[in-house]
Amino acid sequence: MIELKKGKYMFGTVKVGERGQVVLPKEARKKFNIKPGQSLLVLGDDDKGIAIMKADLMKKFALKVLEK
């Protein structure tokens, strides 16, 4: 794991398997407390690429927006 700047990390590269699967690096799973069976949200941007985040974080955000 390389800390690029405070709170920003690079965990290395991963390969895409034949069925489109990727394995998140152990350090990334540990750093962000990602457990087996947990749901992740995959986001995409034509210019910036793909981002992965915990699905429950987006749910919390959506609930806060709806409260207003």
Domain boundaries, the chain: 2-67
**Separation CA 21–CA 8 (nearest Å):** 24
Q: What is the CATH number of domain 2-67?
A: 2.10.260.10
Lowest-confidence pick of 29-33, 35-39, 48-52, 58-62 = 58-62
For the residues 11-39, what does the mean pLDDT come to?
A: 96
pLDDT tier, 66 (very low <50, low <70, confident <90, very high otherwise): confident
Taking the CB of residue 20, how many other CB atoms lie within 10 A of it? 6
Q: Which residue's entry shows tokens 């799973």?
A: 29
- Report the pLDDT value the prediction gives residue 67, as an integer from 0 to 100: 82
pTM equals 0.76
- Report the pLDDT value the prediction gives residue 59, as an integer from 0 to 100: 79
